[in-house]
Amino acid sequence: MKSRFRPRMIRRVSWFGTILLVICFVSGLAANEPGQAAKQQPTPEQQRELTSSIADGFTLATVGDLIIVHPESMLNDPEFQAALKIIRQAEVAFGNMETSLIDIRRFRGYPQAEYGGMWLIGSPGVAKDVKAMGFGLVSRANNHTTDWGIEGMRETDRALDDSGIVHAGTGENRAAARSARFLNVPSGRIALVSMASSYTLLSAAMPALGEAPGRPGLNALRTKGYVIVTEEMLKNLRKIRDAQPKGSIEPPPADQKENPKELEFFGIRYRVGKETGFSFGMDPVDLREILKSIRQGKENSDFLAATIHGHEPGNWSEEPADFLPVLAHQSIDAGADVFIGHGPHQLRGIEVYKGKPIFYSLGNFFFQVSIQEPVAQDMYEMFEKDPASLTDNEFNVSFLKKYFGQGVWYQSVIAVSRFEKGQVSEIRLYPVELRFDARQADQGIPRLAPPDVARKILERLQRLSTPYHTVINIEENVGVIRPGK
């Protein structure tokens, strides 16, 4: 989806943001150098508290985005039910709830002017249905958290509460949004910390200060992004900048000398580097507070999952942004037992760091976009479509063909991790496909992939995981990772 933006304050990349890609590289406030972060080394006493105490044999099933419109768990499809059986057999299952669960007939809010690419919506009954599928944990911090405003965020959270699903990443202020939430199971107490680096600016929670109250919203990790260019490219960009009408670009402060290796204008930051590309830095305040939440959550639990919703550098990229491995490693150092990424709607690589799994993106598990309704007027106007001549489904189908018109967006895995002595002993990857070629009303529902598709999915994951020295064996159409063997 096209991103609307303002000079010097760019809205976060939408989950449909496969165009105008540089827009997503410049969000956030003051940050440290791209790809770098200040480490917080735990003391020996803290390290003892951060050691995993989960019972041997604990299993965690993880998937990516849950974009569900209606309850589906009763669907009588053998391959769909086989996928749910894998979810239910794990002691705990996790997914990213990337929609608002509201009854549009009674909802007192409205679609927001700033939204995550589309006003995603599902019925409140989806919450209990997701519970029936076997999910006990979901993340809530993502770029669709406030599509329907704070009212929609709160109603979704209430629906999840009523269903018995533990969720994290939203709250009435920043401390609440950052906090870990807990699920008790036979093997121990499980904690979840949810954050987002891709989000709409108005959805970020804020702490109170003086008489100014805090703001409800999500747990945001602000980033500062740079487009990496050659010296010659920067020279030409500076010429373009200097040729702009006087007063149209804010000059640097008079007492500040311009960095010859960097340039910013029209809200985009450029930096000279060895290779062209993109680089990001994390806001040090956000990073410090998030790592503290992870540490505190682990101190009060036996096992902690840290999860992030991030599209950077863009949905098109099979590789995570350079800040994500840094963040994943620091999260594990702070006490996380697993780090789960989602956002770009396609698979990215898998790493095992200090005996803990890192999933850089698990793609989609449910992707019911074609049956989204209602579609607000803004969408039709943005894409210059006539709502009098198109149904919402017809609009959605044309939208999907433009941005998600290939099977790769409809292929993913269920990752089941088994833990022994506080470390992952085995990860089993069950390939799923989401009916890309099905009738639109049936599209986006996961099924265990047939053998030929399963092998393609797993071979792609093998390739994407090679940079992390992760070996994935393919055994009877299932990927198997056995760290240390």
Per-residue pLDDT for 158 more than 50?
yes
pLDDT digits 0-9 by tens, 137-149 = 999 999 999 999 9
474 C-beta neighbours (distance < 10 Å), count = 16
pLDDT digits 0-9 by tens, 384-437 = 999 999 999 999 999 999 999 899 999 999 999 999 999 999 999 999 999 998
User: Does residue 85 belong to any structural domain of this protein?
Assistant: yes
| Band (27; pLDDT cuts 50, 70, 90) | very low
pLDDT digits 0-9 by tens, 197-223 = 999 999 999 999 999 999 999 999 999
| Band (33; pLDDT cuts 50, 70, 90) | low
Structural domain that includes position 448: 45-210+283-481
Specify whether 446 is located in the same domain as 477.
yes
Assigned token pair, 110 = 């409205």
Average of per-residue pLDDT across 330-339 = 98
CA-based Rg of the chain, rounded to a whole angstrom? 22
Specify whether 115 is located in the same domain as 241.
no
Output the DSSP codes for 20-45: SGGGGGS-SSS--STT-----PPPHH
User: Does residue 216 belong to any structural domain of this protein?
Assistant: no
Average of per-residue pLDDT across 75-91 = 98
pLDDT digits 0-9 by tens, 262-320 = 999 888 999 999 899 999 999 999 999 999 999 999 999 999 999 999 999 999 999 99
pLDDT digits 0-9 by tens, 48-75 = 788 889 999 999 999 999 999 999 999 9
Q: Enumerate residues 6+ apart whose C-beta is below 8 A from 409.
A: 345, 346, 363, 364, 367, 436
User: Does residue 19 belong to any structural domain of this protein?
Assistant: no
Specify whether 104 is located in the same domain as 185.
yes
Total domain count, the chain: 2
| Residue with token string 């840094």 | 326
Confidence at residue 45, expressed as pLDDT on a 0 to 100 scale = 73
Of 26-40, 408-422, 442-456, the poorest mean pLDDT is in: 26-40
Q: Residue 416 in contact with residue 430, Cβ under 8 Å?
A: yes
Q: Which residue has the higher pLDDT, 179 or 440?
A: 179
Specify whether 131 is located in the same domain as 247.
no
Confidence at residue 41, expressed as pLDDT on a 0 to 100 scale = 65
Confidence at residue 248, expressed as pLDDT on a 0 to 100 scale = 83
- Single residue among 272, 293, 323 that ends a domain in this structure: 272
Confidence at residue 253, expressed as pLDDT on a 0 to 100 scale = 76
Q: What is the CATH number of the domain that holds 157?
A: 3.60.21.10
pLDDT digits 0-9 by tens, 340-386 = 999 999 999 999 999 999 999 999 999 999 999 999 999 999 999 99
User: Does residue 36 belong to any structural domain of this protein?
Assistant: no
Per-residue pLDDT for 17 more than 70?
no
For the ranges 91-95, 114-118, 436-440, the maximum mean pLDDT occurs at 91-95
Counting runs of H as helices and runs of E as strands, what totals does the chain give?
Answer: 11, 24
Measured CA to CA, the distance from residue 404 to residue 410 in angstroms comes to 9
User: Does residue 16 belong to any structural domain of this protein?
Assistant: no
Measured CA to CA, the distance from residue 366 to residue 433 in angstroms comes to 10
Specify whether 399 is located in the same domain as 424.
yes
Average pLDDT, the chain: 91
User: Does residue 14 belong to any structural domain of this protein?
Assistant: no
Measured CA to CA, the distance from residue 340 to residue 220 in angstroms comes to 16
